[in-house]
Amino acid sequence: MSMWWFITTLAIIAFISNSPVYAYDNNPLQDICVAVNDSHASVFVNGKICKDPKLATADDFFFSGLNVSGNPETLFGFAATRVDVTTMPGLNTLGISIVRADLEPQGLVPFHTHLLATALITVLEGTVYAGFLVPDPANFFKSRLFSKILNPGDVFLIPQGLIRFVYNVEHKKATFLASFNSQNPEAIMIPSLIFASEPPIMDDILAKGFQLNKSEIAELRKKFS
């Protein structure tokens, strides 16, 4: 009897250890999730909680306006219209979203990343140059650039978490759709993230990190703040 119990216990332990449910945690759905010992606190998943299904309506699964360009951002010359969990609540927990991006002539979606999502870029109008950077495993100070010139109907894949950009190479506007496998892909714009942080990063660190002098750092702060 004791031997049977021992073998059964080993079998259960082996199952739990190899089960994908118990072997590891899922990828995080948000950047930070600070633990709180509060039984009355709400639980947020990627920034949202679930509505009572009885209160859901068709409007929760509807968005209008993807055919219209948003207001362009002046520094880089691009506009974004987002269909994510914020603008379409029915996307909550479904893990998909889409963004329409409009680029002014020589407009740029600057270096950024989506830590939570892979992206598929589909060009609707104009010609853009899109690319992403893959770290060099042999030298972490270097990277490999994957890039393509994209025309209407072309589709380009950008893997999750990698730094990417999209640039309008023509003298007319360009439009593309970016589809994500996340309800809230949360773009992290790298230049602004670094030079417009609050509180600011020490000048000495930025000067050393980018091999610039402090006056150049001050100028970059003005541009991105």
Geometric angle at alpha carbon 40, from 39 and 41, rounded to 5°: 95
Lookup: tokens for 199? 């509180």
Give the residue carrying structure tokens 């948003």. 70
Geometric angle at alpha carbon 219, from 218 and 224, rounded to 5°: 100
Assign 3-class secondary structure to 95-164: CCEEEEEEECCCCEEEEEEECCCCEEEEEEECCEEEEEEEEECCEEEEEEEEEEEECCCCEEEECCCCCE
171 is an annotated ligand-binding site residue? no
40 is an annotated ligand-binding site residue? no
Q: Residue 177 in contact with residue 99, Cβ under 8 Å?
A: yes
Q: Residue 121 in contact with residue 80, Cβ under 8 Å?
A: no
Considering only CA atoms, which of 100, 80, 113 is closest in space to residue 186?
A: 113
Q: DSSP letter string over 20-41?
A: HHHHSPPPPSSS-------TTS
Instruction: Name the binding residues for Mn(2+).
Output: 112, 114
Instruction: Name the binding residues for oxalate.
Output: 114
Instruction: Name the binding residues.
Output: 112, 114
